[in-house]
Amino acid sequence: MSQSLLADPPLLSVEQVEVFYEQSILALRGVKLQVGKGQMVALLGANGAGKSTTLKAISSLVRAERGEVVKGRIVYQGQVITDADPASLVLAGLAQVLEGRHCFTHLSVEQNLLIGGFVGRPSRKVLHQRLERIYGYFPRLRLLRKRLTGYASGGEQQMVAIGRALMSEPRLLLLDEPSMGLAPQVVEEIFEILARLNREEGLSLLVAEQNINIALDYAQYAFVLENGRVVDEGSAVELAAREDIQNYYLGAVG
């Protein structure tokens, strides 16, 4: 997506990024992508294509897995964040929901949500307001607020993980495989909520997904990764109409 296609400078710009793990394994090869303000962008590709690494490079979490951005740069809100501290990025409005949810199963649903809101040390009143906002989008979580998260279903835990990230009031939310292991009806429910957040609050989203159909149903634009490279991009409508995207890039059976 070229700069000229965006009315404003992009909220996020990944510019020719290369990532190595343990100084020997090349995981990303010159990845280039953009997310505009208020845009929902899908990052598509098969398992192992580099989607998770791309998101973790953006959020600076790749270093926690002995990875390093060795070339290129990442720009967020006009600032270079390639080597930024992950906590400072959350304060700047960039949050990530990791693959696998990573909830604290021994804590209640509400305690999990509150953990996401402590960044910046808001007042108790502000925390309560943020909680009410999350419960407004995820009414099921209000009903489960006192339940231990470990007893919640996979879909409910995914909602908790997303709600926890939203408690920091991000401008850009990165989601890694939010549909993984969930029933189609639950996936649809979660993507409907993400679409509402995008539409009603202008939240920008970069969603890494193997489920091409659900991703292209809700995103406005998409990039396709293969073997650590961006091999295609286009509007969601355009890509959804192309059989080769499913058959070749994502390994679908024709």
209 and 49 Cβ atoms separated by less than 8 Å: no
184 in the same domain as 85: yes
Residue 181's alpha-carbon distances to 19, 138, 151, 168, 186, in angstroms, are 28, 19, 16, 26, 10
Q: Are 249 and 231 within 8 A, CB to CB?
A: yes
Q: Please indicate, yes or no, whether residues 123 and 37 belong to a single structural domain of this protein.
A: no
For residues 17 and 87, state if they share a domain.
yes
**Do 143 and 174 sit in the same domain of this protein?**
no
In the listed set 128, 162, 196, which residue is the last one of a domain according to the structure?
Answer: 162
51: exposed, middle or buried (Cβ count in 10 Å: 0-12, 13-18, 19+) = buried
CATH label of the domain that carries residue 66? 3.40.50.300
Asked, for residue 254, whether it belongs to a domain, the answer is no
In this structure, are 18 and 82 located in the same domain?
yes
Q: What range defines the domain where residue 113 resides?
A: 100-162
Residue 123: CB atoms within 10 A of its CB come to: 8
**pLDDT tens string 154-198:** 999 999 999 999 999 999 999 999 999 999 999 999 999 999 999
User: 120 and 8, same structural domain?
Assistant: no
In a domain, 193, yes or no: yes
Per the structure, how many domains does the chain have? Answer: 2
> Tokens representing 141?
């979580």
Q: Domain for residue 184, yes or no? A: yes
Domain assignment present for residue 198? The answer is yes
Residue 203 lies in a domain: yes
Residue 55 forms part of a structural domain? yes
Q: Give tens-digit pLDDT for 117-128.
A: 988 788 899 999
Asked, for residue 224, whether it belongs to a domain, the answer is yes
Which of 134, 162, 190 marks a domain boundary?
162
Spans of the chain, pLDDT less than 50: 1-6, 252-254
Residues 150 and 203 grouped into a single domain? no
pLDDT of residue 245: 78
Same domain, 54 and 110: no
Domain-located, residue 213: yes
Based on the fold, state whether residues 7 and 88 are members of the same structural domain.
yes
With helix as H, strand as E and coil as C, how does the chain read?
A: CCHHHCCCCCCEEEEEEEEEECCCEEEEEEEEEEECCCCEEEEECCCCCCHHHHHHHHCCCHHHHCEEEEEEEEEECCEECCCCCHHHHHHCCEEEECCCCCCCCCCEHHHHHHHHHCCCCCCHHHHHHHHHHHHHHCHHHHHCCCCEHHHCCHHHHHHHHHHHHHCCCCCEEEEECCCCCCCHHHHHHHHHHHHHHHHHHCCEEEEEECCHHHHHHHCCEEEEEECCEEEEEEEHHHHHCCHHHHHHHCCCCC
Same domain, 28 and 141: no
The residue to which tokens 């390639």 are assigned: 82
Give how far Cα 100 sits from Cα of 52, 67, 78, 143, 184, Å: 11, 19, 31, 23, 17
Q: Which of 122, 142, 162 is the last residue of a domain?
A: 162
Rounded to whole angstroms, the Cα distance separating 114 from 202 reads: 23
The reply to whether 77 and 199 lie within a common domain is yes
**193 near 138, Cβ under 8 Å?**
yes
Q: How far apart are CA 207 and CA 41, in angstroms?
A: 6
Same domain, 110 and 135: yes
